[in-house]
């Protein structure tokens, strides 16, 4: 006769298989819904982000939005969190910097800015989200902006210590550069026109802006007398 312990051991794998099926299906459905937010956003812009449109795009019952995410806003917020550069794209980079703050010098600052420039210039969904944020007040996007600020504060706190006695306002410097990256990218992708005669939709034009970012970062470190 099979012992009770051995019987339990043989039954457990079946139990795990039965449980894993619904879990996998739930994960797949959630992923479809999140991805559908991006597709609807690109097709219909933010006014089109309705439960019906998202569910139809995902090929799922709209009730699943509320079953898995609680509210439509929670689903949209999940999508934005996944797309946000500071909350996802740069998350690993920022985490490493928090652990090794001494590695944050001109090379890493340039790397972060260049990564943001590349991401925003090539990601249509992020462009739509930024347009959405500029179109008017939205509680959810304000919440995301506040979270983005909180994430960036860890990075800025490290830089504040480096530039404290230098006479250089590193936060203002970065604010101008990040805002410039936002506007140049949105301007180029919205109407395809040049800015100061530079077309960043063209590889040569983009390279000019990338080179200017690197030059400015190196110049501000040099002006501050920081060899890092």
Q: Considering the domain 4-76 in this protein, what is its CATH number?
A: 1.10.10.60
To the nearest 10 degrees (0 to 180), the angle between helices 139-163 and 124-135 is 100
* pTM listed for this prediction: 0.75
For residue range 53-93, list pLDDT tens digits in order. Answer: 999 999 999 999 999 999 999 999 899 888 877 666 666 77
- Enter the DSSP assignment of 88: I
For residues 135 and 14, which has the higher predicted lDDT (pLDDT)?
A: 135
Please give the Cα distance from 149 to 156 (Å, whole number).
10
For residue range 35-64, list pLDDT tens digits in order. Answer: 999 999 888 888 899 999 999 999 999 999
Element (H, E) at 189: helix 170-191
| pLDDT-derived band at 217, boundaries 50, 70, 90 | very high
Helices (H) and strands (E) in the chain, counts: 10, 0
Burial (CB count within 10 angstroms: exposed 0-12, middle 13-18, buried 19+), residue 214? middle
**Mean pLDDT of the chain, nearest integer:** 85
Which two three-digit tokens encode residue 39? 């597709």
């Amino acid at each position: 006769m099979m012992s009770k312990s051995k019987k339990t051991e043989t039954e457990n794998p079946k139990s795990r298989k039965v449980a894993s099926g619904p879990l996998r299906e739930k994960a797949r459905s959630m992923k479809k819904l999140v991805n559908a937010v991006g597709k609807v956003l690109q097709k219909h812009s933010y006014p089109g982000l309705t439960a019906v449109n998202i569910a139809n795009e995902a090929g799922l019952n709209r009730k699943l939005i509320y079953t898995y995410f609680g509210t439509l806003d929670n689903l949209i917020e999940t999508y934005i969190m996944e797309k946000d550069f500071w909350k996802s794209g740069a998350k690993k980079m920022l985490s490493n910097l928090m652990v090794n703050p001494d590695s944050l010098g001109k090379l890493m600052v340039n790397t972060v800015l260049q990564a943001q420039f590349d991401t925003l210039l090539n990601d249509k969904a992020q462009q739509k989200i930024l347009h959405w944020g500029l179109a008017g007040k939205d509680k959810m996007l304000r919440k995301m902006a506040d979270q983005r600020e909180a994430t960036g504060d860890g990075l800025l706190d490290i830089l504040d210590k480096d530039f404290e006695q230098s006479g250089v306002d590193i936060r203002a410097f970065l604010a101008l550069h990040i805002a410039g990256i936002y506007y140049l990218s949105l301007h180029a992708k919205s109407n395809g026109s040049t800015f100061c005669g530079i077309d960043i939709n063209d590889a040569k034009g983009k390279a000019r802006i990338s080179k200017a970012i690197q030059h400015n970062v190196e110049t501000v470190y040099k002006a501050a007398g920081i060899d890092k």
